[in-house]
Amino acid sequence: MEFKLSEDHLAIQKLAKDFAAKQIAPKAAELDEKAEFPSENVKKMAELGFMGMMIPTDLGGVGLDTLAYVLVLEEICAACASTGVTMSVNNSLFLGPIFKFGNDAQKKKYIPEFAQGKKLGAYALSEPGSGSDAAALQTTATLRGNKYILNGTKNFITNGPHADAMIIFTTLDKTKKHKGIAAFIVEKGFKGFSVGKVEKKLGIRASSTSSVILDSCEVPAENRLGEEGEGFKIAMSTLDSGRIGIATQALGIGRAAFEFSTKYATQREAFGQTISQFQAIQAKISDMAVQLDAARLLVWRAAWMKDRGLPIIKEAAMAKLFASEAATFVTKEAVQVLGGYGYIREYPVERFFRDAKITEIYEGTSEIQRLVIAREVLKELTK
Ligand code: CAA
């Protein structure tokens, strides 16, 4: 077993760290305050190839592996979690399924511009009435001639207002439950597509989230991704990879909070010494450090396994569950270390605290991750 990163991985990590510190971090608080989408950051990340990291070069990506992707994403998220999720959704939830399940024509048509960051993608599974129970979705697709007609509303779509295209999951036949689901690549310009309500959020305020309305939306039949009835498996398998990205986002947020609060503890004085000299603070520092290290190991293992084509359902869910709960723990402790200064906007720790919470919710709540893990563990036991 090798715990050391290769020279190439260290180089991309350093590149991302320097870039994030210089270009992303300085604007993060302002973007959060204004709830402003980080368009400039997306452009700059695109120049470095970060919007299509795992796409081969002949399709416009930079052809790196998942480990390289999580190393970069951790740095971006440590600087600005809103920018990080924008990158993650384009890479994992939009490009991922087209690359894995798309036919040659779909790959050629959709991957290059999105991988180069000239266009932005999204993923639309959730609906007002179905979140955790994804198979209960109600958006319909009906084949009419050479087009499918889509009707319904999708909810909480990350990148929704800014996306040029998205993967939309629909049902062809509700009686078939998950076996009736089909996925489509839908462009924002298709007739009957519109962006609905833009959400105001607790955290990741600079990331854009909206509903999407499909009012007899006309989608060419050639834009169906995979076979009819294959949509649920495409959705689930895409989320397996996506969950590694959200686990990484959690890790980045948690690390930023840890670094800031630990440094603060070495500078702030109380009762004649720096607060880092008190055991109460040292216990927090060690608990935060252990949580983050364990989270990173789970994230890197899941990425390593994905790069080797191994099944990652359980490992991706474990990484997401642990890292997201670590992030909420660490950011809460970081606020506590700073005391009153942790609670005000002048310091970034309250932003980290607000940003961390969503990682326990989107791309599958902690409750769903526990369900997925338990199912896999029980399956292994009965093998
Ligand atoms: N990969 C491939 N296939 C899978 C799979 C996976 N990971 N998980 C399940 N399947 C297959 C099963 O094998 C089964 O296939 P068969 O019919 O051939 O046997 C089929 O799918 C149905 O599986 P289940 O019986 O397990 O389905 P279920 O209805 O009990 O639900 C669930 C499973 C795990 C609860 C699932 O609904 C789930 O993950 N829910 C959470 C949804 C979620 O994460 N939503 C996030 C929204 S996206 C988002 O947040 C994006 C954003 O903008 C950031």
Q: What is the pLDDT of residues 102-125, one digit of tens each?
A: 999 999 999 999 999 999 999 999
Give this prediction's pTM.
0.97
Distance CA 234, CA 142 (A): 19
pLDDT of residue 2: 84
* 39 Cβ contact partners less than 8 Å away, ≥ 6 residues apart: 162
126 lines ligand 1 (CB under 6 A): yes
Distance CA 214, CA 126 (A): 13
CATH of 240-381, one of 3.30.70.260, 3.20.80.10, 1.20.140.10, 1.10.10.10: 1.20.140.10
28: pLDDT strictly greater than 90: yes
Q: What is the CATH number of domain 7-120?
A: 1.10.540.10
Instruction: Give CATH 1.10.540.10 domain extents, the chain.
Output: 7-120
Q: What integer best gives the mean pLDDT of the chain?
A: 98
pLDDT of residue 157: 98
**Backbone torsions φ then ψ of 53, nearest 5 degrees:** -65, -35
Model confidence band, residue 350 (pLDDT cutoffs 50, 70, 90): very high
Question: How much is the average pLDDT of 322-349?
Answer: 98
What amino acid occupies position 61? G
pLDDT tens for residues 231-247?
A: 999 999 999 999 999 99
Model confidence band, residue 29 (pLDDT cutoffs 50, 70, 90): very high
368 lines ligand 1 (CB under 6 A): yes
Between the alpha carbon of residue 188 and those of residues 35, 148, 163, 227, 362, the distances in Å are: 22, 15, 7, 22, 23
The residue to mutate among 93, 178, 357, 369, having the most atoms of ligand 1 within 8 angstroms of its beta carbon, is 178
The answer to whether residues 73 and 248 touch, using CB atoms and an 8 Å cutoff, is yes
Which fold is adopted by the domain 122-231?
Butyryl-CoA Dehydrogenase, subunit A; domain 2 (2.40.110)
Distance CA 308, CA 7 (A): 19
Question: How much is the average pLDDT of 293-317?
Answer: 98
Residue 281 Cα to ligand 1 middle (Å)? 41
pLDDT of residue 1: 80
Question: How much is the average pLDDT of 190-210?
Answer: 98
372 lines ligand 1 (CB under 6 A): yes
pLDDT of residue 202: 98
Please state, for a pLDDT cut of 70, what percent of the chain lies above it.
100
